[in-house]
Every structure is written in C-alpha cells, then in structure tokens.
Amino acid sequence: MSVELIERLLGIDVSALSDADKTLPVLDPGIRAMIPDVRMAGTAFTVLAEDDHLPVMSALAEAGPGDVLVIATNGGSRAVFGELFATEAHRRGLAGIVADGFCRDLQGLRRIGLPVFARGTTPRSGTTVSRAALGAAIRCGGVEIGPGDIVFGDDDGVLVAPAAGIEAALEAAELIGRSERAILAAQARGEALHGLTNHADHVAALDRGESSALAFLVDA
C-alpha cells in the first residue's frame, strides 16, 4: 500500500468512492463511527475475537503504523476493546479500529480521538483465553476481508476492498468530490441545485422511456 494512495483517500469522502464504483464492498451500516468527525484509511490487520479480547491484545503487539485493526466477533455480545486498547493502538500509530461487535469506555475513546467503528457500546467484557490465529481472512460486517485489504471509513460508514479495486475507482471519486464542492460553493452563492445538474433533461428522458443518467453541470 502506497502512502500516496492513503493520502488521496483521506482527501475524499467514503460516499464519493462508493459512488465511483458501487460494487466496492461496504460494511453493514450497523458498524458506525463511535466518535464524530473522523476519517480513516489504512491496511487491514485482521483478528477474530469471539467474546474474548485476548486476540485483540495480541494483535496490538504485532500491528504497525498505518494498520487498521479489523475485528470479527461472530455475533459476540461483549466489548472487545476499550480505552486501554485504543490508547495502545494510538501509541503504535495505527490508523484505527473496526469491530463487528462492541466496545466500551466511550468517554476515553473520545479523548484519544483514534477513529473507532463498532456496533455500539457495552460495559461487559469477555474472557481472555482465546488463542485465535491473527491475520486470517475474516467476515466482518457481511464482507469477506483479508489481511492487507484497504479499510476506508468516515462518519458515513466503512468501505473495505483490495487496493487494486480502490485504485481503479479513485480518480473518478476525486472528480465526484471536486464536483460536489463546486456545487456547494454555487449553492452558497444562491444557485439552485437543480440548475447545477441535468435534472430536467434527465427526468424528461426517463419519461420518454430513454436511458439517462443524472449528472453534474459544473466545472470541477
């Protein structure tokens, strides 16, 4: 994974990349940002933690700068990370944590500021005896994820895919981002959204039974 790819991802929204290629996998929307106004991009470091957070602690000893800890819990109901683990992740330079399960210590997580995504919070933790293998393919949020996949998240959700798929859609996503910023600037000047797109022609074409696509009419 190149530094340039991560920097370019951090310059756009997840929604723009998803619009550029609607086939790129997005995690179940139940997995959401636990603290607001975050953006995260990095390489997946995968771990399975089924109501047992020892594998997460073990993964923290091996994950490195720029990694995103991606945790599958297989439907677990206990917290698999909290303030201590997030503090260590931040200290080690990880880009964030994504769990298909629960976290805790939300106030502490807010203070740390590390991007963290989970299904919610619970004060209940699990056991600490599992020796589940690290770095294996997992299923998280309905998506098959392998170590080294790119994890890209913001307040709207998390997209995960191999680097090649993301790179193929990135230029189009950047264009979408520029176009949306140009439209917002025009709206701030008092221009109507509909006049900044081909809305009227698009609707008319659909009503005639013709194929059409909604498009921006701005200089991006």
Mean pLDDT in residue range 176-203:
97
Q: Tell me, what amino acid is at 165? A: G
Q: What is the pTM of this model?
A: 0.94
Q: Mean pLDDT over all residues of the chain?
A: 97
Show the domain range for 93.
3-167
Residue 148 maps to which CATH number? 3.50.30.40
What CA–CA distance (Å, rounded) separates 214 from 12? 21
Residue 198: is its pLDDT beyond 80? Answer: yes
Using CB atoms within 10 A of its CB, is residue 32 exposed (0-12), middle (13-18) or buried (19+)?
Answer: middle
Planar angle of CA 168, 174, 180, nearest 5 degrees? 140
What CA–CA distance (Å, rounded) separates 188 from 149? 38
The domain tally of the chain equals: 1
Residue 219 confidence (pLDDT) = 87
**Tokens, residue 156:** 């709207």
Q: Three-class SS of residue 175?
A: helix
Residue 2 confidence (pLDDT) = 83
| Any domain includes 182 | no
Residue 57: Cβ within 10 Å count: 16
| 118-166 tens-digit pLDDT | 999 999 999 999 999 999 999 999 999 999 999 999 999 999 999 999 9
Residue 1 confidence (pLDDT) = 58
Mean pLDDT in residue range 27-34:
98
| 41-89 tens-digit pLDDT | 999 999 999 999 999 999 999 999 999 999 999 999 999 999 999 999 9
| Any domain includes 188 | no
| Any domain includes 42 | yes
